[in-house]
Chain A
Amino acid sequence: MESLSNKKKVLEQKPLNLAERMYLPAIVKGLGTTMSHFFKKSSTIKYPEQQREFSINWRGMHSLKRDEEGRERCTACGLCALSCPAEAITMIAAERKAEEKALYREEKYAAVYEINMLRCIFCGLCEEACPKEAIYLDGPIVPSDYLRKDFIYGKDKLVEAPLEVK
């Protein structure tokens, strides 16, 4: 039957000549290709020590942001958990006490905020849903670990370090 695309090339298989039947020239040629790579620039890096630059729209580990006064922005509204297609986010809200005004921006805050990094698919919908600009997926690659429970990241790992006072 005639090809529809006309892109098909029919291979002609000739019988091997003597040099080809000996295989040696082909082996030498192959080794030569291998040897030439010894002198070329490596295309891989030694990952944990060396890291590549991420692209600007890279989505990595989540971080919970603080505002310009160092207060936590998250108000535990639950929209990130609602939008999460993998149901990776859980949280427990609490009411801010009068003496905690320097710690949390709104009268409600997330007492517990957990992301299961094994469930997370890094789609960035939580970032889009957040009305308080509190969560961003601007971190590095989530590191590997041995136990499943260690992949549930709490506020200790997610919240940004407080601002340094100069």
Chain B
Amino acid sequence: MADLMKVTIDGITVEVAPGTSILNAARQIGGDIVPPAMCYYSKLEGSGGKCRTCIVKVTKGSEKDPRPMPKLVASCRTTVMDGMEVQNITSPEVLEARSGVVEMLLINHPLDCPVCDQAGECDLQNLGYEHGLQKTRYEFERRTFERIDIGDKIQLHMNRCILCYRCVFTADQITNKRVHGILNRGDHSEISTYIQAAVDNDFSGNVIDVCPVGALTDKTFRFKNRVWFTKPVDAHRNCDHEKCNGKVTLWYKGADVLRVTARKDQFGEVEEFICNTCRFDKKATADWTIEHPTHIADTSVISSNHYETFKPLPVIKENLALQEANKVELEKSIKF
């Protein structure tokens, strides 16, 4: 097709529709070259452009104007041009700038991961692990806020917030009346419900899932267990709510469902938003039809001790006798 744009990211060429952002073009390629995103969320309109973790270097603007872009650009907000060439992980400049961004995001972060319920599935933790420094260079006092209850099921820890605005966009978009937003400006900005009014909406629980850090957490799961000790299982139920299809992930510990979340895709974004009844009130196995264990990336701490994937050694692939001997394990690896 003629109207497709050809863009090269880290040497891999892909053809995408006009108007696609560099980030989404990279996601179509997939793998290591996808820039990390803390604020951009494909399901939320208008999100992105705030955290600057997805910055990339454009070495060739387009076929018609091959000059490079003078500065690093936010890939979630920059649309592709035909013939554009982008460097992400192949450019040391980008990696250095990104680690600077991570340091910036961590300036006011309390680093209370041992206490935080998000630890183990936290985007900021992953980012810090990959790009962060071992020690903080910040010597001043971090901003602190009191904990705020948003309704009786959601807890807001403003200390941990990185001001990605995802929850605000969720409130704008998923719920039909805006009941929370951002107060103050700059360093004093703070996610808040106006005069701490309880969020009263059937979908308010989704702000927990979109939050990339532990700022918005599930009060029904508060300090119940660490995520890496729970086992995620995909399940569904016939939800009465017309907008909710009841497809969720149950987080089991033993026989108990400790937490219900929406299903997340490989980029950590929820597939479909779920209603509060599914999320907070249905915590018995009898409420759900269980499908299969959720796939967790091998690199995630949640997969530790779960032994879900068995990677056959190359020698097994070649040797028929060994294939016969490891039959059970091989069948397991095919299943999921």
Contacts and interface: CB of A to CB of B under 8 A. Distances in A.
Interface in B207-235: 222-226, 228-229
B304 interface: yes
Interface stretch (A1-9, A35-43, A72-80): A72-80
Interface of A: 75-79, 81-82, 87, 93-95, 106-108, 131-132
Nearest to A90: B229
B115 A82 contact: no
Contacts of A75: 114-115
A82 B228 contact: yes
B115 A106 contact: yes
A94 B224 CA distance: 8
A159 B235 CA distance: 41
Contacts of B262: none
Contacts of A78: 225-226, 228-229
14 contacts: A75-B115, A76-B223, A77-B113, A77-B115, A77-B119, A78-B225, A78-B228, A82-B226, A82-B229, A82-B301, A93-B223, A95-B222, A106-B114, A108-B223
Interface residues of B, number: 15
A77 B120 CA distance: 11
A95 B223 contact: yes
Chain B contact residues: helix, strand, loop or mixed? loop
Leading 8 A-B pairs by shortest Cβ distance: A77-B114, A78-B226, A93-B223, A108-B115, A75-B114, A108-B223, A131-B114, A106-B115
Contacts of B225: 78, 93
A87 B304 CA distance: 12
Chain A contact residues: helix, strand, loop or mixed? loop
Given A82-B304, A132-B114, 15 more contacts: A75-B115, A76-B223, A77-B113, A77-B226, A79-B114, A81-B229, A82-B229, A82-B301, A82-B305, A87-B305, A94-B223, A106-B112, A108-B115, A131-B113, A131-B114
Contacts, number: 37
Nearest to B224: A93
Contacts of A87: 305
Contacts of B113: 77, 131
Contacts of A93: 223-225
Contacts of A108: 114-115, 223
A136 to B, nearest CB: 17
For B112, B114, B229, B304, the residue with the greatest tally of chain A CB atoms inside 10 Å of its CB is B114
A81 B228 CA distance: 10
Contacts of B226: 77-78, 82
A143 B115 CA distance: 33
Nearest to A132: B114
A43 B125 CA distance: 54
A120 B288 CA distance: 38
A112 B305 CA distance: 22
B122 to A, nearest CB: 13
A104 B114 CA distance: 14
Contacts of B301: 82
Nearest to B228: A82
Given A93-B223, A95-B222, A95-B223, A107 B115 contact: yes
A106 B228 CA distance: 21
Interface in B274-310: 301, 304-305
A82 B226 CA distance: 10
A49 B159 CA distance: 53
B219 to A, nearest CB: 10
A3 B223 CA distance: 68
A116 B223 CA distance: 23
A107 B114 CA distance: 10
